Amino acid sequence: QGNIIKRTQSEAERRAQAEREAEQKRIQDEQQKQAQLDRALTQTYTTEAEIDLARDRALENYKLMIRGAEIRAGAVDANLADLRTRIANVQKAGRKVGPGLQEQLDQAVRESEELKRTIQKNQNAMVQVREKYEADKLRFRELTGK
């Protein structure tokens, strides 16, 4: 009857054990997070139609921002065309374009580009919203079996 001596782990074994434990914890954390998201999904919505309604409400704000930017872009584009015509007339007359007119043109070009970026950004956001709600709908179907 001797004393039982617990074998000590080598550095590599300890490192491998720590990695296994870290991976198990990461998986467990992901499962808990998914369970929490699933509960939120099933407690928030009772039908797929409610998910569609929430998606449409979320998209409405982006649509309004796009519409506003498009209206403003139309006005800016008309202003740009007018400024370009005025500059062409000045140059055709053999005169030098004044700094004020050139600055107006530069400002209008910058504003036009900014409005285009705003429209694109909101369109991209709408795509992301649609994808998120579509994923929610698929998961809702899985959870409810409907």
DSSP, res 94: T
Give me the mean pLDDT over the 82-99 stretch: 93
- Report the alpha-carbon distance of residue 77 to residue 84 in Å, rounded: 10
What CA–CA distances, in Å, run from 26 to 31, 38, 60, 77, 88?
A: 9, 18, 37, 53, 65
- The Cα 144–Cα 46 span in angstroms is 9
pLDDT band at 14 (very low <50, low <70, confident <90, very high): confident
Compute the distance between CA of residue 127 and CA of residue 135 in angstroms, rounded to an integer. 12
- Mean pLDDT over the full length of the chain: 93
- Number of alpha carbons in the 13 Å side-chain half-sphere of residue 135: 8
The H-assigned helical ranges of the chain are 11-44, 48-92, 99-144
From the list 78, 65, 57, 60, the residue with the least C-alpha distance to 119 is 65
pLDDT > 70: what percent of the chain?
96
pLDDT at residue 104, as a whole number: 96
Helix (H, G, I), strand (E, B) or coil at 28: helix
Q: How confident is the model at residue 97 (pLDDT cuts 50, 70, 90)?
A: confident
Round to whole Å and give the CA distance between 64 and 142: 33
Measured CA to CA, the distance from residue 58 to residue 124 in angstroms comes to 13
Give the tens place of pLDDT for each residue, 39-74.
999 999 999 999 999 999 999 999 999 999 999 999
- Residues 115, 66: contact at Cβ < 8 Å? no
Burial class (CB in 10 A: 0-12, 13-18, 19+), 69: buried
